[in-house]
Structure 1
Amino acid sequence: MASYVIGDVQGCFKQLQSLLAKINFDPKADELWFCGDLVARGPDSLATLRFIHALGTKAKIVLGNHDLHFLACVYGFAKVDPKDQLDELLKAPDLSELVNWLQQQPLMHFDAERNVLLVHAGLAPDWDLSVALTTTAEVSQLLKDSPEKLFAVMYGNTPSLWSDAKTDEDRWRFAINSCTRMRFCLSNGALELKEKRHPEKVTTLRPWYEFWERKSHPMIFFGHWAALMGHSPVDGIYALDTGCVWGNYLTAYCIETTQRYSVCD
């Protein structure tokens, strides 16, 4: 058995199939771990969701910002951006089934036996692993049980520090921003949610993973940050978004062999 962690698919179903052929994926024996952003911007979000849904327990998934925004649109709390190319998905006869399945997916997946953690964007500097798991589990349960309650308060950039999260709504929003939107932080660890460039081009901010360099942490896999092109300088923290939807690569990392595989158009 092999476990492959795959970066942001974003509706690039053709490239996903090419990547699975390259790694000789065996759905009877292997697992696929997806770093979130399964949908939006690419041309085949419907085919992508149907395929991953059909994998059942062979797929481990965390939600990304595009996945959450799609769900919020379905529930009427946001508007669909035409650039996301979601019309086919939104008109699909199995939309309700796919939405219900997507709502069951967590913000974070932690394999304690292998000490491996999967998240879309990252972990807040002022969290430890226990706080991260507890807080994201609370958000994930709310997404299952009361999605309208969550989507009503999901959007916004505050609080930027965990210590400023005084209400339930603050905690939920902070967790979502950390796990699905963050790339950089201020020097005090406050989340910065707008900058997308490569760290070499940004001198006033610090990548979130630098704050975890001296912490005890599991092996962490994340996506979301295409400008990194799959490179994180911190040992044990692995970037996997290599910009497939922008015409670059879709990448998989085999946990057992530490080998990377990539395909492009």
Structure 2
Amino acid sequence: MSSPDIWMIGDVQGCCGPLDALLEQPELTADPAARYWFAGDLINRGPQSLATLRRIRDMEERSVSILGNHDLHLLAAAAGVRRPGKNDTIDEILDAPDADELIDWLRYRPLAHYQHDHLMVHAGVLAKWDVAKTLSLAGEVQDALRSANWKKRLQKMYGNEPVHWKDGFEGAKRLRVIINALTRMRLCTAKGLMDFTAKALPGDPPPGLMPWFDVPKRATRDVTVVFGHWSTLGLLLRDDVICLDSGCVWGGQLTAVRLQDRRVVQVKCSQFQDPGKD
């Protein structure tokens, strides 16, 4: 018996209409046992964050959804750690009658998923982390989010420091590095130090910086790392990396890639936010 199709889907960001259109494409409906991997940023910035979260939650038995920075932002807002910004579209979730159920469902999502030699994270993986290390460290954040004092654990989540990893890091500093790498990182130095200040396009990084996946001797180079988060990079298909974020919320496309053969299916999206403001 052949294994079910696995469709890996990029950042939805509250664009429920394009998500429904994508899921109705003939290629995605051909296998009734197909499964779906969502690369994080399920909600926020798009016009239907509440409907999107409910839609993906209802697909739980057939899907894997990892957390992105916008999903963590919602959790932080629910915890009272951050207030929604002017471009956010998460108030409808926070005000929904089933808000508590949705927040609890979201905080039980993983930050990394590994299967069939594919490692899915939202943003990236530090060069020194292999698959086992990545899954273990993601598990530490997952445990924190699922704990009774999860709101307190999120209080010191925000910040750009430290930009490197040490096994001896503890507490908030440790969780912050893990979260930043897995959900925010784009550019690094050749030594694998994260940079959160540069805004250059992927093909023209500032001197001394490069995409995290091009850092020399990256420990995950022998598997395929699947990620989103980088709309200006767009769809990227390499043996060692797949970027799925094709800028749906910015007027681009919502992308699905079939794991088994790299078949690409895309639907066009309306522009809900100004490009480049993610």
Report the AA paired with residue 34 of structure 1.
Answer: F
Within 5 A, what are the aligned runs for 1:133-212?
Answer: 133-145=135-147, 146-163=149-166, 166-204=169-207, 205-211=209-215
Report the AA paired with residue 195 of structure 1.
Answer: A
Partner of 1:125: 127
Partner of 1:88: 92
Which secondary structure does the structure 2 equivalent of 1:199 belong to?
coil
**In 2: Cα distance, 1:228 partner to 1:68 partner:** 22
Which secondary structure does the structure 1 equivalent of 2:29 belong to?
coil
The answer to which of 155-164 and 71-80 deviates more is 155-164
The answer to which of 206-215 and 133-142 deviates more is 206-215
Contact residue 22 and residue 267 of structure 2 kept, 8 A:
yes
Q: CA deviation at 1:107?
A: 0.7
Q: CA deviation at 1:256?
A: 1.7
| TM-score, structure 2 normalization | 0.89
Partner of 1:222: 227
Contact residue 254 and residue 267 of structure 2 kept, 8 A:
yes
Confirm or deny that 1:59 pairs with 2:63. yes
**In 2: Cα distance, 1:28 partner to 1:143 partner:** 33
Q: CA deviation at 1:188?
A: 2.0
Indicate the percent of aligned positions where both proteins have the same amino acid: 39
Contact residue 159 and residue 165 of structure 1 kept, 8 A:
no
Q: CA deviation at 1:164?
A: 7.8
**In 1: Cα distance, 2:41 partner to 2:65 partner:** 10
Q: CA deviation at 1:50?
A: 0.5
C-alpha RMSD of the superposition = 1.8
Q: CA deviation at 1:26?
A: 6.4
Q: CA deviation at 1:194?
A: 3.0
> Number of paired residues?
262
**In 2: Cα distance, 1:189 partner to 1:54 partner:** 38
**In 2: Cα distance, 1:110 partner to 1:195 partner:** 30
Partner of 2:117: 115
**In 1: Cα distance, 2:28 partner to 2:234 partner:** 23
Partner of 1:247: 251
> Deviations 1:102-151 (Å, cap 9, x if unpaired)?
0100111112xx12211000001222222211111011011001312321
Partner of 2:273: none
Partner of 1:18: 21
Contact residue 183 and residue 207 of structure 1 kept, 8 A:
yes
Which secondary structure does the structure 2 equivalent of 1:220 belong to?
strand
**In 2: Cα distance, 1:73 partner to 1:196 partner:** 26
| TM-score, structure 1 normalization | 0.93
Partner of 1:101: 105
1:104/1:93 CA distance change after superposition, 3 Å: same
Which secondary structure does the structure 2 equivalent of 1:82 belong to?
coil
**In 1: Cα distance, 2:167 partner to 2:226 partner:** 27
Which secondary structure does the structure 2 equivalent of 1:152 belong to?
coil
Contact residue 135 and residue 171 of structure 1 kept, 8 A:
no
**In 2: Cα distance, 1:201 partner to 1:82 partner:** 30
Which secondary structure does the structure 2 equivalent of 1:83 belong to?
coil
